[in-house]
Amino acid sequence: MKKNAKKIDKNEELKDLKKKLFYKKENVYDVRTKKGAKETERYAKGYMKFLDNAKTEREAVREGIKMLEANGFVPYTLGGEIVAGGKYYYNNRDKSLFAFVAGTENIENGIRICAAHIDSPRLDLKQHPMFENEGFAYLKTHYYGGIRKYQWVTIPLALHGVVTTMDGQNVEIVIGEDEGDPIFCITDLLPHLAREQSQKPLGTAITGEGLNLLIGSEPIDGDIDEKVKFNMLKILNEKYGITENDFVSAELTATPAGKARDLGLDRSMIGAYGHDDRVCAYPSLTAIIENKDSEHTIMCVLADKEEIGSEGVSGMRCRLIVDLIDEISKNLGGNPNVVRANSMCLSADVSAGYDPMYPEVYEKRNSAIVNCGVVMNKYTGGGGKSSTNDASAEYVGKIRKIFQDAKITWQTAELGKIDVGGGGTVAMYIANHNINTVDLGVPVLSMHAPMEVISKNDLYETHRALCAFCK
Ligand code: MN
Ligand code: MN
């Protein structure tokens, strides 16, 4: 008997020691409270509303400003005054958005920055998009970002964007989102006649030049050329006052039509277009709004152009972020070089969720598991950690401590197996300004597809993680 009791003691000891020494991935379902579950659902509802109203970067900027203004943030213009405790936003050309709260502590302690992007893969219209062919009218597109072309045929598409006319007007267009609106689509072959097409590799069966949007078939009445195209231009002119020339100065894009939906019998997930990266942009906004009384100076960046390399005036490679930090530093009495050196950034972007239907491309031990919380990517890139920010042990340690203290369910991951592919985020462009940065975000299934999938748990943990970081 005595011997047995000793054995049991010893086993308990080993179990305790194992618990202490081993890493164990936490699942949100194992730790969340009833109250947490309720909060998760409430938060997800707000996010889905944001998604429905923000399918392009311009729409996301507009929605973001609405949220910020409702919470006391005021517009800032370069050169303007910034006072400690003030809440500001900088609208960059309606394409990217910076919100910041000037803290009460010494500005040279640095700024806490959450940076997400608000552009998503889609089909932009070409500059001379409209043509007629055999009784149909079409719009030619040039795809934006990394899409798998075969996913974009035979699905309902909507048109979003703006047209700048010669009299300086900006005409906003959204067609295909209201119940009563018409939609558009790209046609595909019927299987009966697709024997040859079906033999082609997935990546080449549908071509870029083949992604033409079907927009009409009714001719204008009269004895004249290109009757169907004529009718389309007439309809657009009557409704929006634009002509074919105006497409030259337009940003029109085809996105999947329709709203974000609960996914699954249990409604535990959300199926929607554009989770990448609004599923991090929204938590970045809510974190800065909820932490407006933090003593730290905090900043939320919603960037454009991430999906095509972060170039240009609205991308993260633009020096605007440095200009803004210069302005904040100057106004709050700090040296901007010191401020940047002491700043910390979470590059809030999605990660590839482990998909058990495609286990061959993942290394499971280092994968982002859905429902296991917000995921940190110490590095992204591809081909031997090429083209990535690789956060330091010290910086990851600092963030890890913040999450542990706030009881965040989080995990780390890489983007799939080595040499299978790769990808990047804005992290390196921010880190290049001498700002410590690491990637953090939500695991996504079917990333870049017209409908992406995330779990509500991971969304809410991301909000909680960004809040803890700003606090
Ligand atoms: Mn992204
Ligand atoms: Mn992406």
Neighbours of ion ligand 1 (CB under 5 A): 276-277, 349
pTM of the model: 0.97
Q: Among all ligands shown, which has an atom nearest to the Cα of 350?
A: 1
Q: What type of residue is 3?
A: K
Measure the CA angle with vertex 462, ends 177 and 73; round to 5°. Answer: 70
Q: Measuring CA to CA, which residue among 321, 444, 301, 426 is closest to residue 371?
A: 444
Give mean pLDDT, residues 46-65.
98
CA of 151 to the centre of ligand 2 (A): 16
| % of the chain beyond a pLDDT of 90 | 97
On the question of pLDDT at 50 being above 90, the answer is yes
Give the distance (Å) from ligand 2 centre to CA of residue 276.
Answer: 5
How far, in Å, from the CA of 200 to the mean position of ligand 2? 26
Residues recorded for the chain: 471
| Helix boundaries (H) for 157-274 | 195-198, 202-205, 227-240
Q: Could you report the per-residue pLDDT of 438-453, keeping only the tens digit for each?
A: 999 999 999 999 999 9
Q: What is the pLDDT of residue 390?
A: 95
pLDDT at 1 over 70: no
* pLDDT attached to residue 4: 75
Of all ligands present, the nearest one to the C-alpha of 425 is 1
Span from the CA of 122 to the centroid of ligand 1 (angstroms): 13
Question: pLDDT per residue over 155-195, tens digit each?
Answer: 999 999 999 999 989 999 999 999 999 999 999 999 999 99
Nearest 5 degrees, angle CA 301-CA 307-CA 313? 55
Ligand 1 center from residue 352 Cα (angstroms)? 10
Inform me whether the pLDDT recorded for 292 exceeds 90.
Answer: no
Q: From the CA of 448, which ligand is nearest?
A: 2
Please report the pLDDT score of residue 27 as a whole number: 98
pLDDT digits (tens, 9 = 90+) for 323-366: 999 999 999 999 999 999 999 999 999 999 999 999 999 999 99
Ligand nearest to the CA of 280: 1
**Distance from the alpha carbon of residue 351 to the mean position of ligand 2, in angstroms:** 9
pLDDT at residue 78 tops 60? yes
3-state secondary structure 414-432: CCCCCCCCCECCCHHHHHC
**How does residue 215 score in pLDDT terms, banded at 50, 70 and 90?**
very high
How remote is the CA of residue 456 from the centroid of ligand 2, in Å? 19
Binned at pLDDT 50, 70 and 90, residue 467 comes out as very high
Asked whether the predicted pLDDT for residue 3 surpasses 70, the reply is no
Ligand with smallest separation from the Cα of 308: 2
- Kindly identify the ligand whose nearest atom is closest to the C-alpha of 351: 1
Q: State in Å: Cα 349 to ligand 1 middle.
A: 5
Interval between CA 317 and ligand 1 midpoint (Å): 15
How far does residue 448's CA lie from ligand 2's centre (Å)? 6
Confidence of residue 5 (pLDDT cuts 50, 70, 90): confident
Ligand 1: centre distance to CA 293 (Å): 29
pLDDT of residue 355: 98
The two tokens of residue 205 are 């069966």
Q: What angle is formed at CA 161 by the lines to CA 155 and CA 167, rounded to 5 degrees?
A: 150
Residues with CB under 5 A from ligand 2 (ion): 276
Q: Is 44 left (phi over 0), alpha (psi -120 to 50) or beta?
A: alpha
Average pLDDT, the chain: 97
* Ligand 2 center to 314 CA (angstroms): 16
Query: Residue 70 — φ and ψ, nearest 5°?
Result: -65, -20
For residue 225, CA distances in Å to 216, 222, 231, 246 come to 16, 9, 11, 21
Cα(276) to ligand 1 centroid in Å equals: 5
pLDDT of residue 370: 98
